[in-house]
Amino acid sequence: MGINMLIGLIAAYFIYNDAKKLGQPFFTSLLWAVASIPMSIVIVPLYLLLGRKPNIDRQRKADPDIIDIEATVVEETTPCPMCGSKVQESFLVCPYCKHTLQLKCQSCGNEIERESKVCPYCQSQIDYK
């Protein structure tokens, strides 16, 4: 009888600390621990199978800095003004219709607006092709 009680107390100590570490509420941890004292042969395997689930909602409330999102790469796209296909904003030419999306000055290489007749950076004439 004495050795069974000692094994039960050791199991109760282990179960209580483990349940608290996993974020279980106080009374749930206490219930598992107290039940394991007289029936450790039955309760310890049941706890290991059923009770070892981390309480995620409780952990989120305890640490508001944790954000649960899935990281996805987002590419900024814009429609091509000529064909309407979605292209990345960094593209210079539409890969579908070969329309020039971003004009660059032939002299200095700076980006210029489509309506410009003269480069605002180097004052050279714009030659549209």
How do residues 6-55 score in pLDDT, each as one tens digit?
888 888 898 898 888 888 888 888 888 888 888 888 888 888 888 777 66
Q: What is the DSSP letter of 9?
A: H
- How far is residue 26's CA from residue 17's CA, in Å, rounded to a whole number? 10
**Which tokens hold the place of 4?**
């069974």
- How far is residue 79's CA from residue 88's CA, in Å, rounded to a whole number? 9
- How far is residue 11's CA from residue 34's CA, in Å, rounded to a whole number? 10
Is the pLDDT confidence value at 118 over 80?
yes
- Phi and psi at residue 59, in whole multiples of 5°? -65, -35
Global pTM exceeds 0.75: no
Q: What per-residue confidence (pLDDT) applies to 97?
A: 93
CA 117 centroid distance within chain: 47
Q: What per-residue confidence (pLDDT) applies to 56?
A: 58
